[in-house]
Structure 1
Amino acid sequence: MEELRTAAEAVRQQLNVPAFDAVAVRALMDFIEQQRHGIEPAAREGVVNALGCFLGECIIRTYGGRWETNESGLVGVQLGAHTFVRPFVHVDRQLTHGLAESVDGFYLSVPDRLKQQPAPRKTWIPVPLPPAFRRPHAT
């Protein structure tokens, strides 16, 4: 995932921020707001990817975690054992919806996400089946 860190560093330099931190995320939020109406549709995916790398690296360096590909093949940041966040989605949301879906709000929500416990796994409840639905026993 070195390419993600390289892309994040390029964005950090472009935004002219000294670190991957809360101040940098606010600068990212402002940048997205300034640029979001002028991004050509053909360039949007590349913009989302680059800015998502930067947001993800800010999350990793502030809250810990690492870049991972989950079981569905999605790339994001794994935080602890149970929290997987997708910074690319949140960049895309701000590009689409503006400050109502700001990357800063998402970034600030990460500590609460880390406190949440995973939903308990469902267990199968044995239900008696009518004889017609029962599997025959092996003999």
Structure 2
Amino acid sequence: MEQNQFRQYAQNQFRQYAQIHIDITKKSFGIDLGFDEKSILKLDDLIQEAWPDQPPTQIDNVILLFGSFLGEAIKQTLGGEWVQTEQGWGIKIGDATLMVFTKIKKRLLNGIEGSISYYYQITKGMLKNNFKDIIK
């Protein structure tokens, strides 16, 4: 598989995992998520409700689903595209690459001090300052 084909395959997989996350969240919590800022800001509460005292036992699966959703939602709200780096997959916006899976892992392991909402708001603010004409 060529690099471009692999990248396209991975992007499609992330979209599918993001949709699975949406479906599970609806079924388990009765919460409708979309690829928007409002839904990104709900992720900390979902994690806190689902795993209030300790990380999930199948943490890698949770990281994959939550990270795919976060990446797709960031793509829709702030722009960018999936890229593979030496550190793993992330969303590249301009010169910045947002390591969404790493962010989810830190949130699951470190609790609210790894806040996804805070990360998103800071990232959005930094991008607005650097790309005033692109992000409104």
- Shorter-normalised TM-score: what interval? 0.7 to 0.9
CA deviation after TM superposition for structure 1 residue 33, in Å:
1.1
Give the equivalent residue in structure 2 for 1:24: 39
Tell me the TM-score normalised to structure 2 length.
0.75
* Structure 1 residue 14 corresponds to structure 2 residue 24: yes
* Structure 1 residue 92 corresponds to structure 2 residue 109: no
Give the equivalent residue in structure 1 for 2:89: 75
Aligned 8 A contact 2:44 2:117 in 1? yes
More helix by share: 2
CA deviation after TM superposition for structure 1 residue 18, in Å:
4.3
* Structure 1 residue 39 corresponds to structure 2 residue 53: no
Of structures 1 and 2, the larger Rg is shown by 1
Q: How many residues get paired?
A: 113
* Structure 1 residue 58 corresponds to structure 2 residue 73: yes
Q: Structure 1: 5+ residue runs without aligned partners? A: 118-139
Provide the C-alpha distance between the structure 2 equivalents of 1:74 and 1:39, rounded to a whole number of angstroms.
21
Structure 2 letter corresponding to 1:75: W
Q: How many percent identity over aligned positions?
A: 23
Tell me the TM-score normalised to structure 1 length.
0.73
The structure 1 segments of at least 4 consecutive aligned residues displaced by more than 6 Å after TM superposition are: none
> Are the structure 2 counterparts of residues 18 and 51 from structure 1 closer, same or farther at C-alpha, using a change threshold of 3 Å?
closer
Give the equivalent residue in structure 1 for 2:8: none
Q: Structure 2: 5+ residue runs without aligned partners? A: 1-10, 27-31, 132-136
Structure 2 letter corresponding to 1:106: Y
> Are the structure 2 counterparts of residues 15 and 105 from structure 1 closer, same or farther at C-alpha, using a change threshold of 3 Å?
same
Q: Deviations over 1:42-95 (max 9, x none)?
A: x1111111110011111110000011112x262000012x01011111111111
Aligned 8 A contact 1:64 1:79 in 2? yes
Q: CA RMSD in A?
A: 1.8
Give the equivalent residue in structure 2 for 1:5: 15
